Amino acid sequence: MNLSPHSPFSSKASQLLSWGHWFTFANIGLVLLISSSYLFADKSPTSLLGWFYMMITWVSHTSFITFSAFVLTIFPLSMIFPYPRHIRGMAAIIATAGICVLSLDAFVYFQLGYHLNFSSLPDIITALWKTIVGSPVITSILSIGFVLLIFALELIAGNHAWRHLDKLKCFKFPRYATGILVSCFAMSHSIHIWADANAYFDITKQDNVLPLSYPTTAKKLLARHDLLDIEHYQQATEIHLDNTQNQYQLPHSLPSCRSSNQAVTVLYFVDPLALEDFIQDKPELTAVPQLIQPSDHQDALFNLAFGLPAYYQTANNPHPSWDPNNDILALQEPDKNSKNVNANNEPPLISVINGSTNNITYDKQRYYFIFSLAEPKSDVVISNTYYTNIPTLQNIMGFKQLQDITYTLLAEHFSCAKLAEATMIARNLTHSRSEGVNFTQGVLVALKKDRITLVKRDGSYEHISGAEGFAIKQKLDVPFLIQSIKTLKKFSVDTSTK
């Protein structure tokens, strides 16, 4: 093969290489336009340096990815198969495919909070399927139209660059643009090194915003969702649950709940031995294992009464929002003299009673849910057994949380599913979903099947078995953790910027 400077092959290859640079510049502009959607998917930086880093990283990182795609695909093809017309067509197809994948990734990131990956393929397919089923005709038309539009733009860009290649070679724009992009790339990495060394989370929390960027860690993920105690991380001070910047917000109108089903008595014991004494000679009570609850008694009772993680526990919510008229739930707490009484002087649907401080008259004709709180000096969460004669709660496999119990009672036993869905962060135990989330003592608790992931506010984490309690050595499941945080903050409204 003749590769001399004057050979036809060398001339075509040189022209295609020059054309490829201009074609890449055109695609950098298109990629920047589409990738700008990532910048609006998460909470904006709070500092000027954070904004500056976000902008230069967006420009340099997306440009680098686009140029790398050209080097790995179109450039080798133009060297092996230097036929301009065919190369322009193949380049348009390759670029269209890349743009479509980027757009799909942006959609997934907007919906789920993480990028395309094989480990979360079922969740991604579910999100796409819901979008298609919601309006199949419109979705199909928009999707096909988008692909055709991108392909047309690629053909126009490729043909225009080839036909006006001599004029384009006279422009000095590529020199300045290349210098700016390289400077932004170097500057963004330098700033990130400094931010990572100095725990400047307004910058490092952006690591996973753009595709194919820095890998996410637990610290950066919690910082992105305002769940990281930065002061603790930097100074090793005591962890506190600080949700002063978050306001609990519910829908303006809540579904009503009117049920004629038999009422339920919830008994909890502070001493597990007292529970064992109480359940003796009561064969109608079924023992159900794997009740996961916080070791903090106040958090556990909040989970039970409110159907929410303790992340929402403040002095401003003395009574559950799912019982606005105080006619569904009656509480008897050992640390309070007052009792919530049904406003209509009717028996409440659910009565929560401390079995350790009240004399209980057991009636086997009534429905009971009975459990004990954690013993002193327990771990952040514990797994124990509850006892019940409620059919809905007797044959439940896998883990259960106290908020799940309240949700299931309200949704299934009392047929108030819409009210439960509108006011609680829990799951219906009669369904097969095996994920859950909680927040107690400043620790994010994410549950998936038997695995419990505990993420502290300093960013450290551990996996334990819900059934056996032993440690599980496993990498952090970032997509699942992101989804757990989004679920946790379902009713959270950030008031820090108001």
Amino acid at 120: S
Dihedral angle over CA of 378, 383, 385, 388, nearest 10: 110
For residues 198 and 336, membership in a common domain is answered with: no
For residues 136 and 58, membership in a common domain is answered with: yes
Counting the structural domains of the chain, the total is 2
> Which of 8 and 278 is assigned the larger pLDDT?
278
Query: Is residue 221 included in any domain, yes or no?
Result: no
Give buried/exposed letters for 271-288 (b at 16+ CB in 10 A, else e).
eeeebeebbeeeeebeeb
Task: Indicate the residue among 389, 404, 432 that finishes a domain.
Answer: 432
Q: Is the pLDDT reported for residue 160 higher than 50?
A: yes
Task: Indicate the residue among 198, 215, 232 that finishes a domain.
Answer: 215
For residues 419 and 276, membership in a common domain is answered with: yes
For residues 168 and 289, membership in a common domain is answered with: no
Query: Is residue 362 included in any domain, yes or no?
Result: yes
Query: Is residue 498 included in any domain, yes or no?
Result: no
Query: Is residue 46 included in any domain, yes or no?
Result: yes
Tell me: the pLDDT tens digits for 289-335? 999 999 999 999 999 999 999 888 875 667 888 887 777 888 865 44
For residues 317 and 418, membership in a common domain is answered with: yes
For residues 210 and 269, membership in a common domain is answered with: no
Q: Is the pLDDT reported for residue 241 higher than 50?
A: no
pLDDT band, residue 386 (cuts 50/70/90): very high
For residues 128 and 196, membership in a common domain is answered with: yes
Query: Is residue 313 included in any domain, yes or no?
Result: yes
Contact predicate 265/409, CB 8 Å: no
CA distances from 51 to 29, 209, 219 (A): 20, 13, 20
Contact predicate 409/257, CB 8 Å: no
For residues 145 and 279, membership in a common domain is answered with: no
Contact predicate 243/311, CB 8 Å: yes
For residues 286 and 203, membership in a common domain is answered with: no
Residue 355 lies in domain = 250-432
* Spatial distance between the Cα atoms of 386 and 371, rounded to a whole number of angstroms: 5
Tell me: the pLDDT tens digits for 350-367? 999 999 888 888 998 999
Task: Indicate the residue among 432, 454, 472 that finishes a domain.
Answer: 432
Query: Is residue 237 included in any domain, yes or no?
Result: no
Please name the helix (run of DSSP H) or strand (run of DSSP E) that holds residue 88, with its range, or none.
helix 84-112
For residues 30 and 172, membership in a common domain is answered with: yes
Q: How many Cα neighbours within 13 Å face the side chain of 393? A: 35
pTM higher than 0.75: no
Query: Is residue 123 included in any domain, yes or no?
Result: yes
For residues 49 and 171, membership in a common domain is answered with: yes
Contact predicate 154/69, CB 8 Å: no
Query: Is residue 484 included in any domain, yes or no?
Result: no
For residues 50 and 163, membership in a common domain is answered with: yes
Sign of CA dihedral 268, 273, 274, 276: positive
387 closest CA partner among 299, 265, 262, 305: 265
Give buried/exposed letters for 74-95 (b at 16+ CB in 10 A, else e).
bbebbeeebebeebbebbbebb
